[in-house]
Amino acid sequence: MTDDVPRLVAKAREGHPRAVARLISLVENASPRLREVMAALAPFTGQARVIGLTGAPGVGKSTVTSALVSAYRARGMRVGVLAVDPSSPFSGGALLGDRIRMGQHAGDDGVYIRSMATRGHLGGLAWAAPQAVRVLDAAGCDVVLVETVGVGQSEVDIASQADTSVVLLAPGMGDGVQAAKAGILEIGDVFVVNKADRDGADATVRELHHMLGLGEARAPGDWRPSVVKTAAARGEGVAELAEALDKHRAWLEEHGVLAERRAARAAREVETIAVTALRERIGDLRGDRRLGALAERITAGELDPYAAADELVRGLTES
């Protein structure tokens, strides 16, 4: 398939998976046509529910994600899954096999599953994830599930990328204490104790409720995070989880928080793009006489690094 962007977007809107795959590949590879892609997609975005799922390795993120796909498909909704995997240090490709574990959905035209490599990006999300979500949104997905790498204390990155953040834990893994240390309790809108058929599930739920109760006092009308028990591999608790997600979505819309979150997300995306562009321009200056001259003035004691940086930024933005 060629990189005829209008044709790709039209095909993606019609539900052709190859067109969606090609658009996401253009995003991942930072194609020179990326600006054209984003401009073409913009009128069709802003409709999908974006749900982030995060948690330590081994809690069953992919199993819960697969169960949610089934729940939303039962409602007749189109679902996109973005599984952000650790990068191979050799190939830069994704190591985990999310699409294998979600194989039951492979033949469903209403489901699109894509694995993305973090390529060294901290925080559990690939740098291109926001743009990839935009592709799935524009392609007509009603729900986009973003499953992130379990990377501990950097996992809070998901909160800035999703309308609703789901934090998964499992009994017997010491997750409660780790969640408190990692700051995950502050970013979770819905908490899931998965593998609830194991011993210790009720204790984990009690610990979660206790630690959530120790948080900041909430005003009347504020969202109070839900705690749901699931045994996703057996399909237990999935309906309750979907209901909790529906309640959070309704609260977001009722209180105007959904628009606020999406505006903040867009602002961060613009900031990231702008900072990346500046870094590229600074990189191009390595060896340039302007940067060299500033460095010489610093070593001579004529200029401090902050004043030199201000001068460099002014030169970059004015040129």
Whether residue 2 is predicted with pLDDT greater than 70 in this model: the reply is: no
Strands, DSSP E only, in the chain? 49-55, 79-85, 111-117, 143-147, 164-169, 190-193, 226-229
Q: Select from 187, 235, 306, 217 the least CA-distant residue to 71.
A: 235
**End-to-end alpha-carbon separation of the chain, Å?**
38
How far apart are alpha carbons 15 and 108 in whole angstroms? Answer: 12
Question: Residue 282: which pLDDT band, with cuts at 50, 70 and 90?
Answer: confident
pLDDT at 104: 72
Residue type, 217: A
Report the predicted TM-score, pTM, of the whole model to 2 decimal places: 0.85
Q: Which of 24-33, 123-132, 235-244, 287-296 has the highest mean pLDDT?
A: 235-244
Whether residue 277 is predicted with pLDDT greater than 90 in this model: the reply is: no
Question: Residue 31: which pLDDT band, with cuts at 50, 70 and 90?
Answer: confident
Q: What pLDDT digit, counting tens, does each position of 123-168 carry?
A: 445 567 888 999 999 999 999 999 886 655 445 566 678 999 999 9
